[in-house]
Structure 1
């Protein structure tokens, strides 16, 4: 007799649980894309710093970073190199810092965290 009264219970439970489950799944997917961008930018900053440490110029290092950073929009990337090429000498450390405005894929995450989430990476190497 009690079973007949609980006929729609599973539907109500499903309706209560599915939004939370979808939020978790979407969050995992977004975090995966953001982590992939972070790793790509880390590699790009390392490659640019290595390029400069071997005697390359700043413009070449920026081009190198943009070429290595696949799957990212170069217009959303800011690359800072310190010290500038005119004040660098052998044995000095050079730092390449990349800031990237990561854009979320789902509008749901935009509402929670804002439209842009800045990723910032640095690489420092000694000029040879």
Structure 2
């Protein structure tokens, strides 16, 4: 019978890349889910502040505080209607937050590219 000393090394070399891709994929999924929940929370907080009649500066400040764990350079904010004067009682204010997240897994990131997350929250102005 021949020696089988290198069998474990070959099996490890075949399985290790699959396990690493799976591990990094789970990490990427967690990062995307965290960013999604953060955008959802920030949208709700900002829409509530806008619904009670706050200035745009206060709304943007609330968004920045709620999304402090995200890269602010990749975050796009849109408040509709644009000015406080046009947000009268009874109309709806819409806060739209868009964030692009880059994946860490090399093989998956080249196939999929960055993931664009968008959150839209609508509240009636009081």
Which TM-score applies when normalising by structure 1?
0.86
List alignment gaps of at least 5 residues for structure 2: none
Q: CA RMSD in A?
A: 1.7
The equivalent residue for 1:88 is: 87
Which TM-score applies when normalising by structure 2?
0.87
- Pair 1:17-2:9 in alignment: no
Q: Deviations over 1:8-58 (max 9, x none)?
A: 222211111111111000000111112111111111111110000111122
Conservation of the 8 A alpha-carbon contact between 2:43 and 2:97: yes
List alignment gaps of at least 5 residues for structure 1: none
Aligned length: 124
- Pair 1:70-2:32 in alignment: no
Please report how far the alpha carbon of residue 107 of structure 1 lies from its aligned counterpart in structure 2 after TM superposition: 6.1
Please report how far the alpha carbon of residue 102 of structure 1 lies from its aligned counterpart in structure 2 after TM superposition: 1.5
Q: Which runs of 4+ in 1 moved over 6 A?
A: none
| CA distance in 1: counterparts of 2:16 and 2:71, whole angstroms | 34
Work out which of the residue numbers 54, 57, 78 in structure 2 matches 1:56. 54
Work out which of the residue numbers 39, 42, 45 in structure 2 matches 1:41. 39
